[in-house]
Structure 1
Amino acid sequence: MNAAKRGDIFHRYFSTTKPPKYKFFVIIGEDEDKYVGYFFINSNINDYIRRNDEMFNMQMPIKPNDYEFLDHLSFIDAHELSILKKSDLIKELSVGTTQMKGHLNADDLDRLLDAALGSPLFSEREKDYFR
């Protein structure tokens, strides 16, 4: 199974979020050790993020008319890169605990990559996920 290509969007339960819940996330890249980097997709922008210009500038809107799994305007929360093992994602997909929901369209993916590469929030090592 060739899972987790850049731009793929998945849905799974995250016990690490506050509160724990099901969330959408988009794959942004993969490193040489077979870890995938991803950004969460949120329904709203947290007030803390709204007060921080650098973080707020990394909240990319995506529209429900462009993505059939969305029922309202949502935001790719691209201020913080999260990482998981690609092998874990493949296993979750095979047992059904994670579902693939779609793929970012080319314009949204380009906008996201350009913003991430230009952001001071990421180290050069993290930016390698975006190249």
Structure 2
Amino acid sequence: MSATAPGSRLTLRPGGPAREFSVTLRNGNTRSYRHVLLAFQMESTPGGSAHPGYILERWDQATGTWRPATLRIANDTLPYAFHEGGTPLAKNEVTTHRYRLRAATGAPSGPNPILISLIDTDTDARVFYASLPQSTLE
């Protein structure tokens, strides 16, 4: 799994435009997965408080529209057993998913990477993880 953004990082401005990034899954494993799910999290923002001022969306290729995606803001990891759903990932399959992130007006400034986990919801286990550098400017 890899996450990429133009310039290798996301730089946001509160109230500014969304910035796109992609997550590519490469299953070179010895088996297929029945249900995998991408889970996104940011730590509580600088200053120590959680701020709901970030909007994550995923590109739905079937409808040609951006759809809301879940972005958890917390300092702890949600137990993998709490994740449900997911889609199949066949052996040797490669898929790329497009996302965009926006900082709402009032979002605090500072660095706060996006932590991305690939969860196998059938076994309640994290298959892989990555992070993408992100900074919100004043």
> Would you say same fold, with TM above 0.5?
no
Q: Highest CA radius of gyration, 1 or 2?
A: 2
TM-score (norm 2): 0.29
TM-score by length of 1: 0.30
Determine which structure has the larger helix proportion and give its number: 1
